[in-house]
Chains A and B, each alone.
Chain A
Amino acid sequence: MAEQTLTRVPLLEAQGICKYFGGLKAVDHVDMTICQGDIFGIIGPNGAGKTTFFNICTGIFTPTQGRIFFCGEDITAMSPEAVAQKRIARTFQNLQLFKFMTVLENVKIGCHIKTKSNMFDAILHTPTFKRDEAFTTEKSLEILKRIGLFDFRDTLAGNLSYGMQRKVEIARALALDPKILLLDEPAAGMNPLETKALMEFIQALNADGYTIAVIEHDMKFVMNSCNRILVLNFGQKILEGTPAEVKTNPEVQSAYFGKGMVAGEAIR
């Protein structure tokens, strides 16, 4: 959908990433380059290693082999906290919300790395504390307004519907002011209307300058929104290219979509 920019600046790069769990090659020699301004799709059948790959990118797993670079900096061995400090934000496939905190508080935690006040600031209510709290509240409310959860700010996150919980996760990730946003199946559990709204929201974010990487099974979503797509199967990279290339690649078709007319229908 988004046009190929002429000068493509690499933002997140994976070089020869492998992750083995014993004999299982969950991710096997995968290279990837996400450039500034991309909506980068990662697709593949269940168990293809997509989420594992995301976990490697965000420091939750350390790869068996290979390196991850972010803005030219090696982040391979960094802890998830340190990766988040580099402003790489992510959401989770099976929702890891702070369920018993309100929506607003959830988003406020996203502002953690952008504020500094420590315990003594909090006890004495120093100017630093007041500035931080004001900033956190203002920023969180702004994000909630934008994502359409403003009315639910005082609801416990766990009380929301599944689709809305996904939005809270995205809101929380946005609070980091991420340079890149990694979304793990954001449309899972959403109805078609919600999916469409989410797709538009992601495109709007992209238009605002956010770089987005997304794992998604909804082909309509991926083919219409992403400008680059990485296809994984059994931990191996099949192809990295534009939606058009992915659609026409026979290997992708046979590995992922199956063969025959049905696959063709699905893509369209």
Chain B
Amino acid sequence: MKMSKTLSTSLIAAGLLAGVAADAFAQAKEQFIGLPSYRVGAYAAGGSGVFGGWIDYMTLINERDGGIGGVKLTWEECETEYNNARGVECYERLKKKGSTGNSVFQPVSTGITYSVLDKVAQDKIPMVTIGYGRTDAVDGRVFPWVFPMITTYWSQATTMVKFIGSKEGGMEKLKGKKVVYLYHDSAFGKEGLGVIEKQAQKFGFTMVPLAVAHPGNEQQSQWLKIRQEKPDWVILWGWGVMNPTALKAAAKTGFPREKMVGVWWSGAEEDTVPAGDAAKGFIAAGFNVAGQNYPVVKAIQDNVYKKNKGNMEDKSRIGSVYYNRGVVHGIITVEAIRTAQAKFGAKPLSGDEMRWGFEHLSIDAKRLKELGAEGFMPDLKITCADHEGSGKVKYQQWDGKQWKVISDWIDADRDMVRPMIEESAAKYAKEKNITPRDCSKEG
């Protein structure tokens, strides 16, 4: 009796094991990507757009190309509600999924980025933060696992000054001008402050910082101050409801919207449409542009939406700023997998191999054209020391109905930003007892 019980138990165990093995075999040609998305709450508009675009691009790769090198992409969403604790839970939940674990973590939230910053290095999962997150992580010697790609807040701040300079007719014309820095009173809002202060000294303009308390739907006193100060330009470093409020207040104050420059988190349809006519003329930065007239977006329409496999419920949002930003997330993830596959072979890649892929990622102008993303996002080249890789942004202007690109790619003043990054990263390394990597020895 006892014997048979043992026997049956082991048979069951064997059956289970066989099932697991079969499962593992079936998964063998799949690359898993965990998506910590947020589709509810205050930032749902951003989350559903970015993650929708990203998922659509991965569906495109699966449908049109049969995956990458025969390896299909799989993914699972986990709702973070833009909440740090939920983000950590999602990170932990997703990290062991798939045959090789989560390939890359991209939370699209600076708070969650900080919350998992120490964990990604321990678990060997690369974290890619495109246009948000920890700026000094650009120094890949100290942060091997974190990739704040394309551009950072500091780089962006320098391009803003450059853009304003070009509009004034040359950087030397900035002398004696006055710029108001209207910012969301949080760690995010203060990111640009130091850089613009330095630029103000360099080019001889005055900068007036004005803080707006979260969430930013009350800005009367700030705009009263702006009216008194009579600045030549207003930099809007806003987020969420603060942006349309600022635009409406500017209209009421009579400040020309053509003289307002926003960050890339102020420059989506969700920021301008609620302000109505008041938004017309407003300018904002973007490391991706809006619009459906790019081959990559058309390819998604043809291969994904025509087959009814699209992720967006509201199809009019295809081509919006957030949606296209999601496509950029998709392109970078897929190209990194391609890069890593070129070295490690067409198989599901581990976190370590993925990290190599991100660190050697190079998307040049030619490749962008092949991808159908020429002018859609800047070219970039990541190295061991430089995890930013580009620093370029374009400026777009809201014409009342849509965003129109009004500048070419503007390079950041990276010579100025780099020492600041290195200083900050070195301080972090010292606090955490990290010995920076020697990049000359990295393969």
**Same assembly:** no
Q: Tell me the A residues contacting B by CB distance below 8 Å.
A: none
